[in-house]
Structure 1
Amino acid sequence: MRAVTCHRGELAVAEVPDPVPGRGQILIEVTRSGICGSDLHARTHSDLTADGAAEIGYDGFMRSEQTVVLGHEFCGRVVAYGPGCHERWPVGTRVVALPVLRQDDGAHLTGLSERAPGGFAEMTLVSEVMTMPVPDGVSDDHAATTEPLAVAHHAVRRSEVGKKDVAIVVGCGPIGLAVILMLKAAGVRTVVASDLSAARRQLAARCGADIVVDPRTESPWTAYGERKGHLRTAPSLIELGMDTLQVLRRVPGLPWWRVMRAAEKVGATPRGPVVFECVGVPGMIEDVITHVPLLSRVVVVGVCMEPDTFRPSMAINKEIDLRFVFAYGPGEFYETLQMIADGTVDPSPLLTGTVGLDGVADAFTALADPDRHAKILIDPVSDVRTV
């Protein structure tokens, strides 16, 4: 079969052996595959990422000297089952799958491991246990966005953002746009989107962002106004605490400390916005921590492949809640697919182009320009070479 391989950072269309499904595996014909920012990073930073993965016990991540078929966002049709499968769906059924393939030496990351070739190909293998049928009415294009939207769904859930909170999305690439879609699906009323690219700001608005800013001319930290009462200086927090205590202690016999604890439980105490850092380049965490209001929650979604630094003292002084997120669970993947099916989430604004296998290298180049594209899909039977 034909597939796009990556070796020492070079992409090439090659003839490779047809995959043969092993125990518990399904062979699928790929109908669409999405190019992810992780694919762009893995092409150039695979060794660094592999070193980090090995430190937490996974030594199967791709390395530059290996030849790997990329692609972990895909949908396709069932072609054949391997031994030990339940054969849950008829041949020809459209499916999506979590990109984790169980082999005899353990589980591997599909499209990011030599042991689990990915979806930039005519066919690929998936684990039956990780596979889900695509609901009727969901196009192949939209089904292929299940994986990146599940990443965003997980990030929004981990953030514990409330409907009345201000959510600020820094960076409106594909994952930032997906986060905006999931924030609006969760009912968050005020979503601020910030990006240097005019094209991506337009896409952010299409995804439902309530306020869209160019950070060169307007601060995302103040664009929503002061109506939320976010605290921006240490003295303002100290003064608020003193003023609150002064009021409460005017009531004789009132257990003011219990009132304060009760206020915390119902969310009546001060808090900042919930910020999603979706850029993933060195310096962004420091920049966000430096500029966010006090008591903010910062969720790091963007994957920075290089070492980075920030000032813990600044985060401490502001009492910033810093969280890092990765991937999603099977339940979140399923929920995302259902949200696409019932129209809760419309992935259309993410999709800006489609190429065939011969156009993948050009698509990687095009994705380096934020004003040209967000998410490019691959149709393995298409002869389109440029986007």
Structure 2
Amino acid sequence: MKAVVCSAGKLEVTDVPNPRPGPGQVLINVSRCGICGSDLHARVHSDELADMAATVGYHQMPRHEDKVVFGHEFCGEVVEYGRDTRRRWKPGTPVVAMPMCRDGKDVQIIGTSTQVPGGYAEQIVVQESMTFAVPNGLPAAHAALTEPMAVAWHAVRRSRIGKKQNAYVIGCGPIGLAVIAMLKAAGVRSVVASDYSPRRRELAARCGADVVVDPRESDPFSSSPYPNRLTNVPDLLNLGFDTMEKLRRVPNVPWWYAFRAAHTLNIAPSGPIVFECVGVPGMIDRLLTSVPMMSRLIVVGACLEADTFHPGMAINKEIDIRFSTGYDPGEFRDTLHMLADGAVDPAPLITGTVGLSGVDAAFTALGNPEEHAKILVDPASAATLP
């Protein structure tokens, strides 16, 4: 079959062996596959990614000279099954799958392994237990975005954001745009998006951001229609004074019970939720300096370099920092159905489509934020430019 093979930073369309489904696996014809920012990084920083993965026990990441077929955001149609499968769907059924396969206890991440080719190919093998039928006639181009949208949904869920809390999305690349769409699907009333790129700000508005700002001109944390109650240390201290003065007016009631109850019920002053979707060195430190008091910072942008920040700033403002990656099977399934039910529209993210012979040009085009957000690969297409 034809596939796009990356080795030593070069992308070439070539013939590779036809994949065969093993135990518990399904062979599918690829309909669409999204190009992820992690693929762009892996093309030139594969050794660094492999070293990082090895520290958490995953030793299958390709290195610079290895041959790998990228692509982990895909949709396809069922072709045939391996042994020990339930054969849940008829051939031709549209499906998506979590990008992972397992042979015994040996787990391979599809698209980031020399052993399991990814979706920049005519066919791939997926695990039946991690595969889901596409409902409601959802177009393949939209179904292929289940994976990146599930990453965003996981980040939103990890944030534990309430509908009336302010949300700030810093960086409106593909993952930032997906986070915006998922925040609005969750019913968050105020989403402020910030990016230097006019094109990305336009896409952020189309994805549902209530306020879109150029950080060179406006402070995103002062741009919500619902002002943050606590913006600095004096605000927090004055809240404490005001609370104590009110509690002390209540006769014969131990005021400290109110604080104990608030702690038990997890009722406390809270700041906004900030999603860091840039992923460059220094970004976390800049946000710790600029976010309001008691913010919760969700780090979604994948910075692949060593970074530093000032813990004292986070301590003084009592900021929570949470890091987010991936998703669980339930989140993946729910994301698929949110797309199929119309709760989330991924169309603004899709800015181009190429065939296998156009993947190299697509990688180049994605380097310019004013041109593209998400480019899809259609193995049946002859398009060489997005």
CA displacement at 1:88 relative to structure 2: 0.9
Structure 1 match to 2:320: 321
Any idea what SS the aligned residue of 2:220 has?
coil
Structure 2 match to 1:123: 123
Any idea what the Cα deviations from partners look like across 1:343-384, whole Å, max 9, x if unmatched? 111111111100000100110111011110000000001011
CA displacement at 1:6 relative to structure 2: 1.0
Quote the Cα distance in structure 1 between the aligned partners of 2:205 and 2:25: 41
CA displacement at 1:232 relative to structure 2: 2.2
CA displacement at 1:92 relative to structure 2: 1.0
CA displacement at 1:235 relative to structure 2: 2.4
Q: How does 1:197-276 map to 2 (within 5 A)?
A: 197-224=197-224, 227-229=227-229, 231-263=230-262, 269-276=268-275
Quote the Cα distance in structure 1 between the aligned partners of 2:160 and 2:264: 14
When normalised by structure 1's length, the TM-score is: 0.97
Structure 2 match to 1:176: 176
CA displacement at 1:63 relative to structure 2: 1.4
Deviation larger for 56-65 or 118-127: 56-65
CA displacement at 1:264 relative to structure 2: 5.4
| Structure 2: gaps (5+ residues) | none
Q: How does 1:323-362 map to 2 (within 5 A)?
A: 323-362=322-361
Quote the Cα distance in structure 1 between the aligned partners of 2:289 and 2:226: 19
Quote the Cα distance in structure 1 between the aligned partners of 2:136 and 2:115: 32
Any idea what SS the aligned residue of 1:221 has?
helix
CA displacement at 1:267 relative to structure 2: 7.0
Structure 1 match to 2:107: 107
Q: 1:267 to 1:56 in 2, by over 3 A?
A: closer
Any idea what the Cα deviations from partners look like across 1:162-183, whole Å, max 9, x if unmatched? 0000000001111100001100
| Pair 1:41 & 2:37 matched | no
Q: Does structure 1 retain, via aligned residues, the 8 Å contact 2:6–2:68?
A: yes
Q: How does 1:62-73 map to 2 (within 5 A)?
A: 62-73=62-73
Quote the Cα distance in structure 2 between the aligned partners of 1:42 and 1:65: 12
Q: Does structure 1 retain, via aligned residues, the 8 Å contact 2:168–2:273?
A: yes
Q: 1:16 to 1:105 in 2, by over 3 A?
A: farther
Q: 1:266 to 1:203 in 2, by over 3 A?
A: farther
Structure 2 match to 1:80: 80
CA displacement at 1:266 relative to structure 2: 6.5
Quote the Cα distance in structure 1 between the aligned partners of 2:219 and 2:193: 11
Q: CA RMSD in A?
A: 1.4
Any idea what the Cα deviations from partners look like across 1:147-174, whole Å, max 9, x if unmatched? 0000011000000000000000001111
CA displacement at 1:75 relative to structure 2: 0.5
Deviation larger for 233-242 or 204-213: 233-242
Any idea what SS the aligned residue of 2:221 has?
coil
Deviation larger for 153-162 or 17-26: 17-26
What letter corresponds to residue 76 of structure 1 in structure 2? Answer: G
Deviation larger for 62-71 or 253-262: 253-262
What letter corresponds to residue 337 of structure 1 in structure 2? Answer: L
Structure 1 match to 2:157: 157
Identity %: 59
Structure 2 match to 1:146: 146
Any idea what SS the aligned residue of 2:22 has?
coil
Any idea what the Cα deviations from partners look like across 1:38-83, whole Å, max 9, x if unmatched? 1111112221121111111111112112100000000001111111
Count of equivalent residues = 386
What letter corresponds to residue 326 of structure 2 in structure 1? Answer: A
Structure 2 match to 1:136: 136
CA displacement at 1:240 relative to structure 2: 1.8
CA displacement at 1:262 relative to structure 2: 3.6
Any idea what the Cα deviations from partners look like across 1:173-197, whole Å, max 9, x if unmatched? 1110000110000000000000111
Structure 1 match to 2:195: 195
| Structure 1: gaps (5+ residues) | none
Structure 1 match to 2:367: 368
Structure 2 match to 1:53: 53
